[in-house]
Structures are given as structure tokens and as C-alpha cells.
Amino acid sequence: MPGTLNLQIITPERVVLDQEVEQVSAHAIDGELTILPNHEPLITALAIGVVRYTTKGSESAAAVIGGLLEVTDNRVRVLSDSAELDVEIDEARAHQAKSRAEAEKTQRTDKLDIYITEMAISRAVARLKAAELVKRRRHSINN
């Protein structure tokens, strides 16, 4: 029987997830990585994106707004300012946030303002990607 990992996704407000998983994939600032049981210790900075994890052969996801990923002794800990599980995401709200940020970006000229709106777009896109994984999972279960 393959081993498992304990995945914790933690924000300042709450423990978003604390669960045994088979593998974890995340988008670090220098590229995509997948963590399997018995992975070497690691600390890396995360980009705004999706953390995917597999439990009993089923993939789930969380939208993570940057942070750190630490691997030690079959424990993967994600520390982020903000994170949402795929099942918690309001897809309509995420679409609205993305549209609003894209509209604001076209009106900005200051580099800092443009950067802030680009970050808002990235957050919305990460949330939409995580929500899309839920829809695909539900669709495959129903078919």
C-alpha cells in the first residue's frame, strides 16, 4: 500500500484543510512541483495558483494566494494569507471579480495600480481554476 502525506493548508484566519492525501501538486514561483510520500524536506515560495491533492484516487483543489510550502516527514504544510477549497468557491463571484479587475486595469496608468489589478486578476483566475476542477469531478462522477 502506498504511503500518504498529511496536507495542511493554513491561513491566519483558519486551518483550511488538514487531511491525509496521496500526493500534492502546487505551482511554486519557479515552476510546478508534485510531492509524493517520502519526499525530501523542502521549503519553497508559492505563486498565486491552485494546490491540487489526491485522496483515494479523487483529485481536489484549493485556490492559494501565494505563500510557502514546506515538506518534512510526510507532512506538507501550506501557509498562505488566503486560501479556499474548491467546494467553497462562488464561481459567479470569482467571474465578477475577474471582470471588474480587468476593467480597472485598462483605466490604470500608474505601475503600482496596474500591478495591484494584475494580482486581483491572478487571484480570480486561481479561484476559477479550482472551481473548474470541482465541476469536472462532479461531471465525471455523474457520467
Task: Calculate what percentage of the chain has a pLDDT beyond 70.
Answer: 87
- On whether the CB atoms of residues 77 and 8 are closer than 8 A, the answer is yes
Tell me, what's the pLDDT at 141? 58
Q: Which of 42, 67, 86 is the last residue of a domain?
A: 86
| Contact (Cβ atoms closer than 8 angstroms) between residue 70 and residue 79 | yes
Instruction: Measure the CA–CA gap between 106 and 83, rounded to whole angstroms.
Output: 27
- 25 and 70, same domain (yes or no): yes
Percent of the chain with pLDDT over 90: 46
Are 82 and 98 in a shared domain? no
| Size (the chain), residues | 143
SS3 content of the chain, % helix, strand, coil (to 5): 35, 45, 20
d(CA 9, CA 61): 11
In the chain, how many domains are there? Answer: 2
Task: Check residue 137 and give its pLDDT.
Answer: 63
Q: Three-state SS for 87?
A: helix
The last residue of one of the domains, among 48, 68, 86, is: 86
- Round the average pLDDT of the chain to a whole number and report it: 85
Structure confidence by residue, pLDDT tens digits, 33-69: 999 999 999 999 999 889 999 998 888 999 998 899 9
Question: Domain limits at 97?
Answer: 90-142
Which pLDDT score, from 0 to 100, does residue 1 have?
A: 39
Residue 51 DSSP SS3:
strand
Distance CA 120, CA 102 (A): 9
Prediction pTM value: 0.76
Selected residue with higher pLDDT from 142 and 4 = 4
CATH for 62: 2.60.15.10
Residues 74 and 104 in one domain: no
Distance CA 74, CA 4 (A): 7
Is 76 in the same domain as 108?
no
CATH number of the domain bearing residue 94: 1.20.5
Q: Which three cell numbers, joined as nine digits, stand for 73?
A: 516527514
